[in-house]
Each structure stands twice: as C-alpha cells, then as structure tokens.
Chains A and B, each alone.
Chain A
C-alpha cells in the first residue's frame, strides 16, 4: 500500500460532510503550523487533541488493545514525519483518520492478507452472516438509548463487516473511498455495510437493545 500519493491520501476532493462532522478545534490550526516547523510542544498538543479518536479508531478496526496502542504510536510517528504535506484541504482530523486507516490496513495485510485480496478475506463465515428472518418480528419498537450496547455489538461483528461499518457509518467515508482503501468494489462495500447493519440488528435484538437505540436517535 502506498500512503503517499495514493488515492486515499490525496486531498483533491474534500468532503463537506466530513468537514461538518470534524469541525476545526480551537488552537489546532496554530499547533499544526508550529508542528510543521518542528515544534515539539505543538506536536504534543496535537497528540493530546487527537489521541482518543485515533486510538478508538484503531481499537475498533483491530479489536485488540495492544495492537491498537501500537498502531496509535505508528500513526502519530507517521504524522510527525508527514505533517508538512498537510495542506488544509480537508479537516485535519479527517486527514489524520485516513492516514491511520491506511496504516492499520497495511498492518493487517502484513499480518497475512498480502496474498489474498481483502475483498475475499473480509467475507465472514456462514454462521457469522446475518440471518434472513425477514418479517419475523413485531415492527413496533420503543425504549431508551444504550451506546454501550451498540459499541459492544459493533465489537462483536465479524472483522470484514466491522471494518466497513466503522469506516462508513462511524467515520463517514464514502463507498468509493472505502473501496479504494480496502481494494474492493463499491458494490462489495455497499453489500458488506448492509450485512453489517443486518447483523447489528440481529445482535441488538438478541440483547433487546434495539428499542433503546431507536429512542436515542429520535
């Protein structure tokens, strides 16, 4: 995977949606400019501002605390080396998240996915796939929110489903961006996302948390 100059690292098409979801943080712009000039204090500030989001992203993608910490470290070391190439054409956090996603994917490929396309390997086994129980339930739902239950359900998704769900529904990447990053088709990204949501529905229904989820977003 090429991090520099690859389609997923270019800033030619900023996404207004991502700007909206990643508004500038007070003091961030100054810290970025200072960090570009080698100011260690400014870099420390950027770490403090973004460590939780980067770590959470790594943890969601990897499902492992130790690996997530390693990749958080790698992401910020990479950031330190490459921050000079940030031109502000997208939100800094969007740029940093993209950098992190690419590093995590490269890490996963190094672990054993090099010889097989991710499109093939992200498909879960039969038992992990969402069951087709269309029309088998009472459509009426009511209740209250439970973010913890959703987080837990996302964590229990098969890796391929989880990857696409986190990238699309949580991080806000478009299907064509995900397809580029995962080296799969946009159709596959859409399909994986749909299966992920179906699986989450199934998992949340098992724990009777979907009613709670519904009320939370109303």
Chain B
C-alpha cells in the first residue's frame, strides 16, 4: 500500500487487515491515527484495534522522552584518551 490509506475501505476492513496496514498508516499520519476522524468509526467498532493504536501511539510518544539522556555518561577515561590522541595528532602536525 503506498497511498497512505487513502483508498482503504474501512467499512469492510477486518482487524487483522487493519493491523497489516498499520505501519504505513502510522508513517503517513505522522504517528497519530486515533485523532483522525476518518478512523473514528472503525476504531469505535473495533475496541481491540483502538487499544492497539492507542498503546502504540503512547509508546512512540513516550520514546521521545528518552532523547534526553539518563544520568549515565562516559567515564573520565574517554575524555583523557581523546585528549591524548589529539595531542599526538597535533604533535605530528608540527614541523
């Protein structure tokens, strides 16, 4: 499917067919399907599909919070090694 779901017949679609289309639907709807009125009737009639969509949207949204790193950081040895290698490189550049 390459039309982002524009030609999907949600009136006849089964839950398993819907799930097959979900990767493309999420990609073409900016990651949000539950807000789109075009899907509201289908999702109202298929609560399991609605639950799946909602859970996957929550997971994607929560993932953004992981962009800010946790407290973990590289050990001091990493910076020491970087400095050492830069000094060696700088010395090699000198005439």
Residues of A whose CB lies within 8 Å of any CB of B are 21, 40, 43, 47, 51-53, 55-56, 59-60, 68-69, 72-73, 76-77, 80, 132, 134-137, 139, 141, 145, 147, 150-151, 154, 165, 169-172, 175, 190-191, 193-194, 197-198, 200-201, 204, 210, 213-214, 216-217
Give the complex CA separation of A91 and B19 in angstroms: 36
Q: Identify whether the interface residues of B are mostly helix, strand, loop, or mixed.
A: helix
Residues of B whose CB lies within 8 Å of any CB of A are 15-16, 19, 22-24, 26-27, 47-48, 50-52, 54-56, 58-67, 69-70, 72-75, 77-79, 81-82, 85-86
Contacts of A69 in B (CB 8 A): 74-75, 77-78
Contact of A73 among B15, B47, B52, B78 (CB under 8 A): B78
Contacts of A53 in B (CB 8 A): 67, 69
Give the complex CA separation of A135 and B53 in angstroms: 12
Asked if A76 and B69 make an inter-chain contact with CB atoms under 8 angstroms apart, the answer reads no
Tell me how far the C-beta of B4 lies from the nearest C-beta in chain A, rounded to whole angstroms. 11
Contact of A194 among B26, B69, B70 (CB under 8 A): B26
Tell me how far the C-beta of B94 lies from the nearest C-beta in chain A, rounded to whole angstroms. 13
Give the complex CA separation of A175 and B64 in angstroms: 16
Asked if A190 and B27 make an inter-chain contact with CB atoms under 8 angstroms apart, the answer reads yes
Asked if B82 and A47 make an inter-chain contact with CB atoms under 8 angstroms apart, the answer reads yes
